[in-house]
Structure 1
Amino acid sequence: MNKTIIGSLVGAAVLTGGCATVQGEADRAAERAGDHAAGSAAVRYTPTVGTPTAFPPGTPGPTDAPPPSPGRVGAADVKQAGETARRAVPGSTVMAMETEENGRRWEVQLAGRDGAEHQVDVESGQVVSGPVAEDGDPEDKAQHLRLLRAAKLDYAQAADKVMATVPEGRITELSLDFEQNKAVWESDVVTPDGAVHDVAIDAATGAVIRNNRPTT
């Protein structure tokens, strides 16, 4: 309601009731003007309830909030997936892990006591596939056992070393392998800018032996 409408109401009050009435009508006119302004406020809907909720103009409502950013895949997530897989294959040792489905799922390879390989898929701390035993030959099993004997750091300790080396990144792959006759934990780590770091940890000493930072 604009000033012209308020003025008209005030003028009508002067003709019918004197100064006191003028003041009362002016006050009521101002209240009606305020109600009209409030009624023009933006109305947005809370998606979970479906009930209109008024917000002052220019104030973002629930539907204007940006989507949450994806969480980091740090050492805690690696350990959760690894321990879940280990419980599914009692007595096994994690040898390799890799993220699938944009980081939502972990594919975990484990070696049993006899060196046989098993695969387990883990999502949100739950086994979603497996365990599946691989048909490895005796040479493969012997290789796995040699790796496990050479490694003093397990996958969880290796993950901590990797995250300390690239603290702003997220682990997408971690695997135990021989490199120049040395047991090494190799890892791919993605930083927020999308760059992939190649990190290698000596599985016997815990020393960082490689951290290839991508060139721009």
Structure 2
Amino acid sequence: MTTTTQTTDPRPLYDGALAWALGLVRGVRTDQLTLPTPCSEFDVRALLAHLVATPQRAAAVGRGEDPFSVPSSAPQPPGDDWAGAYAEAVDVVRAVWRDPELLDRPVRAPFGQVPGRAALMAYTSETLVHGWDLAVATGRPAEADPAIVEPVLAAMQRFLPAEPRGGRVPFEAPVPPRDGAGPTERLANWCGRATP
């Protein structure tokens, strides 16, 4: 991690990413739940289940719990109310990470023990990338606010090297961005997503 990453408060970035993703989740129609997504292992319903689990796991990390105590996909909510489930998870994770002392406290993330701010930056990236997946899959605008995405992209390009990928590094190789790609698309590309 660089000095910038070590001193940046990622909570406003995470908050913005969560708000953007929540808007996307709220816009999903029932007839879109079985559509494929750029994340080949997920259709839209499975992606929503993973999106809900992501802030649940980030909250567990902030509470000092084992991140793997939270499944990587949430159970289907009654009535397919993914927006309600995601909004609830967002409220919980925001409350957990309100304490600024968490930013410098070592936490156990799925990828190892790191300062809280590093874990939260990784969850911000995951939220943005899966938000991009959801937007692309459902035909919605797929760019979040560049002021949120640019610092996350820069941090991930430093924190997540281009090589090696696969195995213990659960990302595909970076995909060269297309001309004119916005920062959210470039972040998704860096994390191994091909633009459809």
Whose strand fraction is larger, Structure 1's or Structure 2's?
Answer: 1
**TM-score, normalised on structure 1?**
0.26
Larger radius of gyration: 1
Q: Which has the higher contact order (CA 8 A, sep 6+)?
A: 2
